[in-house]
């Protein structure tokens, strides 16, 4: 570890989390937004479902850890929602089991500390045409439909409402964007740069509106080493310096 200590945010989920640090990915965007304010760690696992997540909860989030996360953003559901394979193999998890698995994840995270906050991301839609037309021959038949995605998304949201866990309704949020099927996804499933912007916008909205003390919205968090210094860049008047610690001019989007 290095200092000074910052609040720790953890992104926990399947490939949508693992790939979130790709160029333009939603995890990378959040890391930029929270630079000098919080450290963001990725615990993403390609192909995983909620069943596998439950099995490693104590390893990923040990209750005796010296440092507890301030925020955990959780995404599982896309792989769970895939249609069952006749062999019984594969990532499909029946809906009732999925709900109970997500309940276990939420309960475990809540037990870490009184100050650990949680946000669940619900299952987003998919581009069915692209998925069905891009079989590589490597996989057996993949059954992934928006009807199933919606069922798992709604079940996740219902659980969050029951357990008082803030959530992002990705199934609805993605579909607000024009031509969302092509704009939001690279392969019909995983987020493009445009889709990642939707994810970030919705997460920031939850953080902005949450009644958490201290607030975890980026604008409310202290900036590390933000004091003025004579070593900063010299202003046009030639007499003063300009403190760059909060500059955001380089960002494509000025996030709220």
Residues annotated as catalytic are 14, 187, 190
- How far is Cα 251 from Cα 215, in angstroms, rounded to an integer? 23
* Calpha distance 254→171 (Å, rounded): 24
Give CA separation, 77 vs 87, 169, 211, 224, 226, in Å: 21, 12, 27, 36, 40
* 3-class DSSP assignment, residue 170: helix
The closest alpha carbon to 254, from 201, 183, 192, belongs to 201
Q: What are 24's two structure tokens?
A: 């333009």
Strand partners, 43: 12
Q: Are 85 and 144 in contact (CB under 8 A)?
A: no
């Amino acid at each position: 570890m290095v200092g000074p200590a910052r609040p720790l945010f953890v992104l926990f989920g399947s490939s949508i989390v693992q790939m979130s640090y790709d160029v333009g990915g939603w995890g990378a965007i959040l890391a930029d937004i929270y630079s000098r304010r919080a450290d963001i760690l990725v615990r993403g696992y390609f192909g995983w479902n909620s069943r596998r997540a439950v099995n490693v909860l104590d390893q990923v989030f040990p209750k005796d850890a010296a440092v507890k996360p301030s925020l955990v953003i959780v995404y599982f559901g896309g792989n769970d929602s895939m249609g069952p394979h006749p062999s019984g193999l594969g990532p499909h998890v029946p809906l009732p089991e999925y709900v109970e698995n997500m309940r276990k994840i939420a309960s475990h995270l809540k037990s870490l500390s009184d100050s650990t906050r949680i946000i669940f991301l619900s299952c987003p839609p998919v581009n069915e045409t692209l998925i069905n037309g891009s079989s590589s021959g490597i996989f057996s038949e993949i059954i992934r439909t928006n009807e199933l995605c919606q069922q798992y998304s709604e079940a996740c949201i219902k659980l969050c409402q029951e357990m008082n866990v803030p959530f992002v309704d990705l199934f609805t949020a993605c579909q607000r964007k024009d031509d969302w099927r092509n704009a939001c996804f690279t392969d019909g499933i995983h987020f493009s740069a445009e889709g990642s912007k939707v994810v970030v916008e919705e997460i920031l909205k939850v953080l902005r509106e949450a009644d958490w003390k201290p607030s975890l919205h980026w604008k409310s968090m202290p900036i590390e080493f933000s004091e003025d210094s004579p070593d900063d860049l010299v202003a046009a008047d030639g007499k003063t310096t300009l403190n760059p610690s909060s500059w955001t001019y380089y960002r494509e989007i000025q996030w709220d």
